[in-house]
Amino acid sequence: MNMPRILQIGSLSGSPNADQEIARRYQVLEYWKASDPIRFLRDEAQDIEVVATSAMTGCTAAIIDALPRLRAIVSWGVGFDSIDVDRARARGVVVSNTPDVLNDCVADLAWALLLGCARQIAWGDRNIRAHRWTERAAGLPLAPRVHHKKLGVVGLGRIGEAIAQRGRGFDMEVGYHNRNPRRDVSHRYFDSLVELATWSDFLVVATVGGSSTRHLVNEPVLRALGPAGIVVNIARGTVIDEAALVSLLSQGLVGGAALDVFEHEPQVPEALKHMDNVVLMPHVGSATIETRRAMLDLVLDNLQSFFSTGKLLTPI
């Protein structure tokens, strides 16, 4: 029996054996290996109805327009700012992502970053490894406590709510900023992000990426957070004005930063690498064995559903 053909934009290397599992079920055109992508689409992919991609590799308007029979884009990951959704909709192409299955692991990492920055875990670890214990941990200052503090969440969606729930476990007051208040939660709503930052001890960024939120956390917001405040970002690097953050951190006008994402990934500002009040991770919020398996399973289920019913299970 002939297997359906799909175009895969990039390797799903973040999920072990993902490419092999997809290839066992479908005839895969490996776009990322094409030496001449435009010619490859013209000569090999004109009959393609389904694209498989990820939140990292996305799908551009140029690719969408080059596929006259395209009907669906199935993406691995929750973010879709790298996919030209407007162009897809204009063409009648449906798009899916992998929501919910990664909420808890991303929220866990947000809290690991928050605690790691507040309690100076990375700094302490470096001092121990450098045999500097006897120097009062090389000047390691007293850290702020986390429990009973104020937690501000930027974007109270699925992941933001999971982060807020964990804050309740630390007996924290929780506030949030959305475009609109939610009526199904008791957390305090701030219609001004500057006011939320002023109120917060810890500001966790969990909103969507893309042009609508670019530099949403800007210099005024960061100044409002202040020299005792810590900002955590597990959303998209573009949400924070990275240059402003580096400048304010270097001046002591922001207390600390814990970042899993960066504005120009994989490039990370050199200044951040040398700051003891900064914790850095390489965009790995969903990188657990269980979550990556669940994400791959949902991609496979979306592909199977579309080829069998013409519908996606988790359309955006």
Q: Is 148 a catalytic residue?
A: no
- Helix residue spans in 141-241 (DSSP H): 158-169, 193-199, 219-225
Q: CB of 26 within 8 A of CB of 5?
A: yes
Q: What are phi and psi of 105, to 5 degrees?
A: -70, -35
Q: CB of 253 within 8 A of CB of 231?
A: no
Catalytic residue among 42, 89, 136, 265: 265
Catalytic residue among 187, 236, 242, 263: 236
Catalytic residue among 166, 177, 187, 283: 283
209: amino acid identity, one letter: G
Determine the straight-line distance between the first and last CA of the chain, rounded to whole angstroms.
Answer: 32
Q: CB of 51 within 8 A of CB of 5?
A: no
Strands 94-96 and 150-154: unpaired
Q: Is 161 a catalytic residue?
A: no
Q: Is 283 a catalytic residue?
A: yes
Q: CB of 230 within 8 A of CB of 256?
A: yes
User: Cis (ω within 30 of 0) for the bond into 266?
Assistant: yes
Instruction: Return the active site residues.
Output: 236, 265, 283
